[in-house]
Structure 1
Amino acid sequence: MNEAVVHLEVVSRVYPGNPPVRALDRVNLTIRAGEMVGIVGPSGSGKSTMLNILGTLDRADAGAVHIDGHDIATLSDRQLSALRAHRIGFVFQQFFLSPGVTALDNVADGILYTGLSLRKRRIRARRTLERVGLGDRAHHRPHELSGGQKQRVAVARALVGKPAILLADEPTGALDSASGAAVIKLLHELHDAGTTIVVITHDHGIARELPRQVHILDGRIESDERAYGGPRGSRYHHGAPRKVGR
């Protein structure tokens, strides 16, 4: 069985207030290498907090969090930054590309802190752009790219460091339907090639196309569904949700 890239055990996160907000409530979740998982829920369900915990951008108040084999509670802030830089790739709704900088160098900046020379970083960046279908746009700047192409550059930047896990937060939220469908297709292709991918989304249409869907509501995992049968799309079938104990 593939090793666990994510393992959360009875994880809670509470934000202070009157009353306090329990954003995650005793969550158990394991994601193994090579999986493609959707974290699905409406606004306020806890999925953004889940993203922050999975991406080591925030720490849990209770429970155990293991990412890529590391016990997050034992790591310093500096060690967490290194883990994010080398083992976690992020794709956000907004592209966060540097204006006036070519697609090639936007991607190369994704491994700026690896110690590689600019030449070697650009070689890897070009290969990754080719992997996402943008080899012919390497020297275009963000204002010369469509929304879908910008998101592909963002995906390439997240992938260039060969992360253990790719976290995609509402990756189609800023795109038209056709561009969004192309980005989701790309994520499926990357998953087919072995990349571990977690998609955070409120869009049930997108979620239905994913091999595994973890539904979250009020900080709790309500169900964990897996597709079975043939390839994705219309030939995917879903069994009854597996209810998760609280």
Structure 2
Amino acid sequence: MSAVIVELQGVTRSYGSPPTMALNGIDLIIEEGEMLAIVGPSGSGKSTMLNIIGSLDRASSGETKIAGNDVTRMTDAELSALRAYTIGFIFQQFHLSDGVTALDNVATGLLYTGMPPHERRSRAASALERVGLADRLTHHPRQLSGGERQRVAIARAVVGEPRLLLADEPTGSLDTKSGVEVMHILDDLNRAGTTVVVITHDRELADRMPRQVRIRDGEIIADVRAASRVAAVVSA
């Protein structure tokens, strides 16, 4: 049986006074090595769930465990270490620094690991090669296409070899061809053992995933697996 990397039990998240409930009684288990989509319309609570899973935000109540760590009991320094060594993030808007090269953008993903600069850059070069950008190391973001910039963002997210990769609308700013290329990279990372969670409102994209967790009004309304995945589990 696979290890559990994400466990949410009775998680709620509310904001303001009177409180607005963004998440309401979420129960979710994600096993190591899974690939799934958390899908729902704007305002459904999926981005809040990403922030909770990524330890960027704390639940108002309930239990949140990431890679066996009870994040409700962790200090800010411990949470920073968890993000640095365990979790990678990919965002729709790339969040690259225009003034530095692709290589140095990726190397920033290791900035808080204490690794010396030459090793950070060496690993960044390997990560860029992994996503097919070995010939773009010295290019600045403005010299890259949208698909290439997203691949730089993916390289930055995986340069530290995180166990858990969270992708927030990773194809939302891309044309169809670039979006397909990005999803192929995520597929390859998952096959290599990385747990991949894609947050999206795109049902077509979600339908390509082995598992879909559908969320609406802060609650999980369905958790379904592709028939092929279920058949494989049954036959195993």
Q: TM-score range by the shorter chain?
A: over 0.9
Aligned to 1:135: 134
Aligned to 1:3: 3
CA distance in 2, matches of 1:9, 1:185: 32
**3-state SS of paired residue (1:229):** helix
CA distance in 2, matches of 1:222, 1:151: 31
Aligned to 2:234: none
Shift of 1:100: 2.2
Aligned to 2:180: 181
Q: Indicate whether 1:145 and 2:144 are aligned.
A: yes
Deviations 1:141-191 (A, max 9, x none): 111110000000000000001112000001111111211121112111111
**3-state SS of paired residue (1:93):** coil
Aligned to 1:16: 16
Aligned to 1:224: 223
Identity %: 58
User: Which of structure 1's runs of 4+ aligned residues deviate more than 4 A?
Assistant: none
Aligned to 1:214: 213
CA distance in 2, matches of 1:183, 1:169: 13
Whichever residue aligns with residue 227 of structure 2, its letter is: Y
Shift of 1:21: 1.4
Structure 2 gap segments, 5+ residues each: 232-236
Shift of 1:77: 1.3
Shift of 1:135: 1.0
**3-state SS of paired residue (1:73):** helix
Q: How does the TM-score come out when normalised to structure 2? A: 0.94
Shift of 1:62: 1.1
Whichever residue aligns with residue 9 of structure 1, its letter is: Q
Aligned to 1:93: 92
Whichever residue aligns with residue 109 of structure 1, its letter is: T
CA distance in 1, matches of 2:17, 2:146: 38
Q: How does the TM-score come out when normalised to structure 1? A: 0.91
**3-state SS of paired residue (1:8):** strand
Aligned to 1:163: 162
**3-state SS of paired residue (1:187):** helix
C-alpha RMSD of the superposition? 1.4
**3-state SS of paired residue (1:168):** strand
Q: How does 1:12-51 map to 2 (within 5 A)?
A: 12-18=12-18, 20-51=19-50
